[in-house]
Amino acid sequence: MIYLAIGSNLPTIEYGGARDNCEAALEQLERVGISVLKRSRWYITAPLPASEQPDYVNGAAACRSDLSPHDLLRACQEIELIMGRARSSDRNAARTIDIDIVDWDGVRISGPELEIPHPRLAERLFVLNPLRDIAPHWRHPVTGISIDDLLAALGDSQEISLYT
């Protein structure tokens, strides 16, 4: 199973607010042949690290694809570009859309363009909470730690709430 994390905190003219952007990203994934099998609820999260930028809307999707991991990365980046994401040198900058490969069937890839599992997933409630919605028995492919234990380790260190 491929797990993707999706987030946005800037509106777009074409799609609307941050939640609309996330929904549109799911549709774009389907259009390029990435099957979305399951999706999480949407969450509102404060920027991490803390900043003055708007809150994010975050979610996760369980997917299937015939693409290789690197081709999937390129497809996700193309969707981000189409949806108006402007890449900056600040890796924590606000964005119209962000699609990250969190896990790919437990495969480990470490390279300059792509690292799977996502190197910071265990530090982020905005990835782990949505991931638990769609994969409650998931374990970190490197450490073997359960998602519940990863969430417990973070406690209430980050702001997160369900989007209503």
Segment 90-100, tens digit of pLDDT: 666 788 999 99
Instruction: Identify the active-site residue in 100, 103, 124, 132.
Output: 100
DSSP calls for the chain: -EEEEEEE-S-BTTTBSHHHHHHHHHHHHHHTT-EEEEE---EEE--SS--SSPPEEEEEEEEE-SS-HHHHHHHHHHHHHHTT----S-TT---S-EEEEEEETT--EESSS-EES-TTGGG-HHHHHHHHHH-TT-B-TTT--BHHHHHHHHTTSS-EEE--
Give me the phi and psi of 110, to 5 degrees please.
Answer: -135, 110
Number of domains the chain is built from: 1
Beta bridge partners of 35: 64
Which of 61-91 are b and which e, b meaning 16 or more Cβ less than 10 Å from the residue's Cβ?
bbbebebebeebbebbeebbeebbbeeeeee
Determine whether 149 is an active site residue. no
pLDDT at 5 over 70: yes
pLDDT for residue 92:
66
Residue 150 has pLDDT above 90, yes or no: yes
pLDDT the model gives residue 157: 85
Assign residue 11 the CATH number of its domain: 3.30.70.560
Distance, CA of 96 to CA of 117 (rounded, Å): 23
**pLDDT, tens digit, for every residue of 23-63?**
999 999 999 999 999 999 999 998 877 778 899 999 999 99
Confidence at residue 27, expressed as pLDDT on a 0 to 100 scale? 97
- Catalytic residue (one of 98, 103, 124, 132): 98
Q: Provide the whole-model pTM.
A: 0.94
Active site residue 133: no
Domain with 128, as residue range(s), is 2-162
For the segment 64-113, what is each residue's pLDDT rounded down to a tens digit? Answer: 999 999 999 999 999 999 998 876 666 667 889 999 999 999 999 999 99
Choose the catalytic residue: 74, 90, 91, 95.
95
Q: What is the pLDDT of residue 50?
A: 76
Supply the pLDDT for residue 86. Answer: 74
Provide the pLDDT for residue 63. Answer: 98
Q: Residue 95 catalytic? A: yes
So what's the pLDDT on residue 77? 95
Active-site position among 31, 64, 85, 133: 85
